[in-house]
Every structure is written in structure tokens, then in C-alpha cells.
Chain A
């Protein structure tokens, strides 16, 4: 997907870059070459895209601050005035916003394949390979030297999996294990999905893997596929994974289920922002052109989109009808 390519990382605002602890950008020749493309495709990290995705995520305080399994403590009651209560709610909303920052969506990383030296003299002297890690404290983990001396005398840079393991051994991070848990294997993921624990899987995945590792991307895609298959979109609403899921569905044009779910829950604003994002990502489709010409808003935008782009037209029409009837009865009564 070109949208998630190097352009995305190049256009990252400094704020997000610092937040996701990515190294400072070095000038890449590839970026200069890509500037010739017809129109810059919106990346996951654009401000406009992020605002729309964030609006769609919703801010259900009860779900964000739902009790996490910690030690048992008796509840703490406070007596507050109205003003203090407002202040506390405002602070809670600020905290919820930090909790809802979306994890980065990056391309899969290129495998490392670099030989530093070949010493045929050393062939046959050793039986096992040596992995040397540079333990200097002030180097970012991405730039650390981790080299492997094979028994046949070749000195090469370590692969990404070896790098992750060594860095976890010497600089352990909380929530990450040296050998990834068997939960992330494909056959075990199905069991977890049946228990509706998609969010826990995604949280564990973020703790365990780097955002550009193939395992991270595979687990995330499996989760999104499963959610889309069973229509369990509400599980991720008001969590930080919602944006990533919407981005995935948009790039693959599988937005119908999500649209139906939003209309059924009377979230018209979210539906319109979804379609706006769709038009931003795929500007060449017909409904995008019509929308731009006629400057449609709200329900009309949805209707145009449904006519031209969706596969499950019937369902969406039904949902829209039900919604309009509900609106009519509620406004009449």
C-alpha cells in the first residue's frame, strides 16, 4: 500500500515522531524520487486523517477507565462540589486522550543481510555462533551494533529477530518476553478471538513486537480480519486500536460492515467522517468525484457512497431507512 510507505514516515510531524520514539529522520534518496507522483496520497499520520480517525474512536470514559485487573483495594470516595467535579472530569478527559494515542502503522521492515568480514582462517575452530551486542548505554536501540560470527568465519550483522532478542536480554522492557509467547501463533489466535479478547491481544502485541516487525503486522491484520468477519467493531471503539482498524479497512475497501454498525448505533457523524476518509484515500472513485462536485453533507453523502461504492447496498439502505424512521418518530413525538 503506497499510502503507508516511506512518504508516511517522511511526513510525520515532530510531535508524533517524538511520541513513538522513532529515530531522527535521515534524508532518504527514495523520498526525493517519490515526489514525482501525481498527488500525494494521504498517509496514516496526516493531521486531517488523524483528526477524523480520532473523532471516530469515540471517548467513552466508562470503557477507557474500566477497571484493569490490579490488586484489590477498597473504593475511594471523595466529596466534591460541582466545580470540583467538573475539574475532575476535565482531568479525566485529558488522561483519556493520552490513553487513546494511536500506535504507529508502518511498513514491514526490510531484512538485514550485511556481511562485515569473511575470515576463512576461522573455519572449523568454533562449533557455535557468537552473538556480540554493543552495550554502550547512550545509543538508541535501532543503531546498536549486533553482529554474529558464524562457525564458518563469516562476520555478519544480526537479523531483526536476533536483534530484538538480544536487546530484550540486555535492556529488558516491561511486558516483553525474550521469546514471543505462543499466543501469537495463528492457530492460537482463533481461540482468543472466540473469547472476544481482541483488545487484550492487540495490547500484548504492542508490548511484545516492534511496530514494523512482520509479526506485529500479521497479528494486527488477523485481528482486524476477524473483527470484520464477525462485525465486532464495538470491541475496539474508544480504544487506541480503533484508528488502526479503520485505516486497514479503508485501504482494503471493506468498510460496509463498519458503516452498517455505525448507522445502527446512530453515529451519523462517524459515518460521514468514515466516508470523507474513504474519499481522501481513494480520490479517483466515482462517489468522491460526485461528492466534490455537489459538496454533499451528511445523509446525502452516505446515500451517494452506498449507490456507487459499497457491495452490501441492500443492508445499508435498510439501515438508513430504519434510522430515518427512528429520527422521524422521535422528532414527531
Chain B
């Protein structure tokens, strides 16, 4: 429906564009009116969102006209459509010059607006010298002065080097005394911008600004006539003057300083007066001035009395019924917390802020509350604040979890008096929000434990206990594995945590873990061989098993081989030397802090650090995290190769030489030891047998997308398998998705015995798709040996919902021929599903809420496969939604629910599938808050049954 109207719109517009083009190109010269009409139409079409690539010359003609209406439209067209098309700008330069010199204020205004709107460097080159003259000329009209001031400001922002300072600057400063408040307002903006970079040049503006401000704040509400806004005298100008003063330290002249303090006190006093109007505009304008005054007070940071008053005022706003004021109060208090004069006063509001964290309904307000708690934290309240943040973390919005994790980790480290508290806190973090605990956080806890021997025994005991939980997060396994490997001996005396029990506990988690974690655990095992000789044989047995020695992963295989060998041939002394306890890490800035700074921008984090100067000098620095695959083995990173034996040829991607013919490792099976046979068309679980032979790569370098839609659809409900296969090449996929992120491993297997040369796989997104899906890939080695397999990783971020699939294009030379093929990469919207369980009542309530016809998409279709309830269930779960049992009154129906996660938003989705066995048909209904999402999910799922 929507598509149709869109199509009709495009058709209509193309027709009109053709019409206008023919008018412009026609032999008959157009009169000004028609030209104006058509240029105006073009502008309208552009504003509807269509591209316009002609009409510029006609607009330039209009702009040079003497008739106002034509000129005006010409200027508008140029302002809206031209950003920095320099050729065109040269064409209009002359017309602008004429208008500037015309002494007609309306024409001058148009010209100045155009310069400011385009605002490019070319404009600055042409006019930056001229405009200051207009600005300070005695006979310039007020309205032109205003435009000139702001035009100059705009040019200065783009090209500060092209705006010459000179005599005019002092005359501009005196515009602060102008009678016309509009002129003062515009001039204040200009002076503020200039003063930020040239404070000396504009120093005299301070006293002028103070006296102007003083006159405004003491004026009766009617004095300023039209510049009074809802009973507030000149709020915009007041805010701007207060901003200007923030470019400077407190005034040195005591008289000026006294007058400014009076102003600020008056503004604070006015906040306590009863409002002159109930309108929100009144309170907004009044508070805008108040907040700017508070910003100035904080900027000066010199009047304890004012700082404490400001803090009390913000404290009142913390409980205001207006969400906007609560938000701003939290934000503003954050900066107050870093002043030594007001830090204590801010701390008195801790209960209110904690309450905000629990009760605010808007996530952006809660975010501010977290920031403020972080800013007000010190040794006296750290335990309470960390506890509250941990509490909040359990229910916090996904979007801010990682940041809270970082903040908790930093506070716990910084204010730890008792390091057992620190260890407990970090383990709690992993328990509550393991997915959001970044590497920096768990590296850091290990660094600290290694550097402090008073906490090592406690840490070993605590991780051992935490690992008892039947389901623990992989990050806990990493921390646990590392700490027990270093300090497991400290608790081995207790028969409940004997060496064998420790080992069995860790090994019970082994198979559920990812490769890097397994690599880390293998290192722990070899450390155990050194710490606990009594379990050496048990460990050797494990290392010797096929699943280790013949592991598909090179890194794991290598570690198993090397560790096994080391444990067999090395003497106890050598073993003890090689596996000696980690030396303390050198002191450095916390890598977590660095990460938070990066996340939030430098300004927001440092103040706490620098101003309070409470650096915890007893804490230790960090080591750069090194990845497991890094070949630099000497880095003391928890996951680096401990032995330094690994500079072996096996590192990284080169496949090990193999005796068997089947080199394509089966990446799809859960059992790591399985190796797939490589006979073409062989019956592995993934490539359907009919498929292997059906695709033939064109010998011609034609770039056709292999329309293997059937295969593509197979991946909608599963993540691993063979995507494509012909006589030369097999492409396998293995992918994982979480929230709006995903990672896909693409495996390219050369099935021939001849090398592939110039092998270049490229992932291509259409323009539309690019803005909704971020894909990052690394290039692969251009040579693929016969029988070898190379791997490519695609990192995926879903920014917003999307329809199409990216295309994987592969080009290479095989023998003498150039091969070029493309397949659709099965990254589909449903991959970003998170299942949601809900009761029958909830389900139908939400179902009804999504009753807008645009939110629902339905499809009735014939079954393509046997109608088996169990298979259907598995497919719905594979699709990503939760399968809700006993929700639909008809037990034959299936209902599901889930949330699509994109970076920008989350979209709740409900689905219902009604089979009709007799007719061999299905009816599928999707309801989501977004039409496009309903549509896409319905398309994808309909193909599955």
C-alpha cells in the first residue's frame, strides 16, 4: 500500500522533472515568473527527498534579478541546495557583491544570509574582509548589523584564519552597549565565538557584559517590551552574556566582580519568587537563565557561598515534577560534584539520586543519575553507591549496561580499602551482567589480584565457590581459570578444594567455552602440572585426548601439543621456572578508565580524576590486553601464550599440513573433533545433496548473484552450514549473534588441487543497507592453496531494521580462468531477535495494543514441507523468537514473541502461525510496532514451512 503510493509519487515527480527540464532547455526564453515557478518546484521536489541535478543556472539568473521575489527564490535555492559546489559559488559571487553594496537593506540581508547559509571556505575567501566593515559602519541599519554579525560568526567557525582581526574588533565589543537589543544579542554571539580563541583581544567585553546583564536582571518585567518573553526580561540575551563571561576567569576589578556577584545572587533569588505566569514558557525561560548562571558559578569555582546556593537550588529541582528540570539538575550537579566547595553539599542529595535511579521512567534521566552517582562517589559513600549501581544493573537498559559496568569497576578499584570487597564486587558484576563485562574489566581484576598478595587466597577461594554454580558466565570461567592457575595452591590444603576437585571443576566448563577461553584453560592446566604434580597424569590424559591434540582450532591444537610435550620432557626445575608465578604488573593508568573516557569523551570523566586528586597510588597499573593469537608471547597478559614456544610456524591462519585428503575442517559441528569429508556432494548435514552439483561457476567473468534463494532461506533459522558449493569452491558459514551485534566466520575451501590466485572476497551492501547494517571485514590472503581453507571474519552491527541481504562477491583466478561469483549473505533481520517469554494474558494484551492495520502483516500460504508440529516449533525457535506454549486457545496454533535489537531502537514482535492440515495451508500473522519489520519478518518466516 505504502509502496504503491511511493511509486506513484516517484512517477509523478519524474514526469514533472522531465517537464521542467524541457522548459529550461526549450528555445523559448522563460520569463522571470515562470523561471521562479519552476525553480520553486524543483526546490519543493528536493525537499521531498529527491535528488536535483539541474536548475542551478536558472537559480543563479533569478538571484541576479532586480525583482525581489525572483532574487529571493534564487537565493533560497542556492542556500538549500548548494553546500560547497565551488564553481557555482564563483558564479554567484558577483551578484552577492552587488547586493552587499546596494545599500538596500533587504537585498543586503538576502546576500548575508546566503553567505552564512553556504558558509564555505570560498565564501570566507571572498567576503570575510568585507563583512566586518559593514558590521561597524555607522550608517548600517540595525537589521543588517545583526545579519552581518552572525554571518561573520559563521565564516569564522568554518575558516577562522580568513577572518582578519583588526580595528573593527574594539568597535564590535562596543556593540554590547547598543540601544537595540537585537543587535546586542547578535553581537554577543559573535564576541563569544571570537573570544574563545582570542581572549586577550576581547577582554574589555567582560565589564560591558556585566553591566548589560545587570541592567537586564534588575529591570522590571515590562521594561524591555518585546524582548521580554513570558515575563522574563531578555532571556536569550541573558543566557548569551552569561556564556560570554564563561570565556574568562572571575573579573579582577573588584567593582565589576561585585556587580556580577549581585547579578548572580539576584538570579538565584528570583528562582525562589512565585512564578509570574503558570505557562511553561515562563518557567523554562527563567530557568534557562538560572542554569546558565549556575554554569558560570561552577566555571568560576571561587565563591563557596554561590556554589552551595546553586547546589541547594539544583537539589530542589531534583524533585521537581518537570522531567526536563530533573534531567538538567542531575546533569548540572555532576559538574558541581567536582568542585571542592560543593562536593559535600552534592553528597547530601545521594538518597534522592538513588531514588531517581529506581523510579525515573525515562532512560536518559536514569543515565544522568548514574553519572551523578559516579561523580559524587568518594571513600565515604563508595560502598553504598557501588551497591546501588549493582542493584540497578540487574534491570538497567541494555544501552547503558556496559557503561555502568565500567563505572562500577572503576569505583570499586579506586575506593577499595578492603580488597576482598573489590573481588566480590567484580565477581558480582560478572554474575549480573557478564555479557557487558569487557576484557579490560576482567584483565584488570587479574592484574590487581596478582599485584596484591593479601587478596590472593581470598580471590582463589571466592572464584572457586562462584564456579560451583551450574551455569556461570564465561567471563567467570576466564577469571577463575586464571586465578586458580596462579593461586589454586593457596586453597588446595582444604580437602573440599583439592587439586583434583579444582581441575575437574574447571574442566567441567571447558567444552561450553569459546576458543580463547579454552586456550586460557589449557594454560591453567599446565600451571596445575607444576603446582600439583599429583594430578599430572590426569591432566596429561586430557591433553592427550583427540579432542585436544587433533582439535580443529590451530591455537588449541598447538597449546595441547606443546603443553603435553613440556609436561613430559621437562624436569621439575625447568617446569617450575617456566611456569613461575606472574610477576607484578607495572603501574599504569587503569585501562578501564581509558575505555570509559573513550566511550564518554574525555571531558566527562577526567574532572573527577584531576580535580579531586584522590589518585589511589597504591593501586597498580595495567598491561595491554593481548589477544590469544598474538605472536608476541612475552607480554604478561592473562591470555597470551605463557611459554614463548609458540613462535612456531603454526601460528595464525596457515593450515597445518595434513596427511589425509580432507582438509576442510568441519566448522559446523558442535563436536570439535569432527572432520568433514570432502568428496563433492558428500552427504554432510549441511549441504543438501542435490545442491552440491547444481551450481556451476560460470567460466566467464560474469557477475551474477547466485540466486540460491533456497539455501539462503535455510540460514534464516540456523547460523551454521554450507552456503555455497560447486566443483571448485565450498563456502561455509558459522555465525553468532547477540543483541544488535553479530560475528560471522566465512570459510572458503579450495576443493581442487590447484592454487587459487588473487582470491578476493568482498562483502557488498547497497546504499540503503549501508546505513542500517555496519559490516567490517578483513581482507584474506590472496592465495588459497589446493585443498586448503581460509577463514574470514565479518563483524556485524545492526543499526536499524533492514530489508535486503548483503552480497558476498568472490573473484579469483583458477588455472587460466577468471572466476567471479556472488551469493547473498544470510544476514537477516531476525538474527537480531531476543526471545521474550510472556503469559497468555500479556501476550493478548500486547497483541491488542498492536492492532493498527499498519502494524500487522499476514500471509496465507501452502505448506512446502510436511506439516510436523515438532519441526515447526524448532523452526520458530531457530527463527529467534520465544515459542510460547499454552498461550493460544487453539493448541494446534503456534505463537511466539521476541524483541528485535538494533542500535537505535528495539522493536517488540509477536507472531502467530495457524496450520490448516486439511488444506495443507498456513496462516502467518506478524504484529510489530513497525510496518517494515512486520513485513520483513513475515516474508522471511513464510519461506520456512
Q: Do A and B truly interact?
A: no
Residues of A within 8 A of B (CB): none
Residues of B within 8 A of A (CB): none
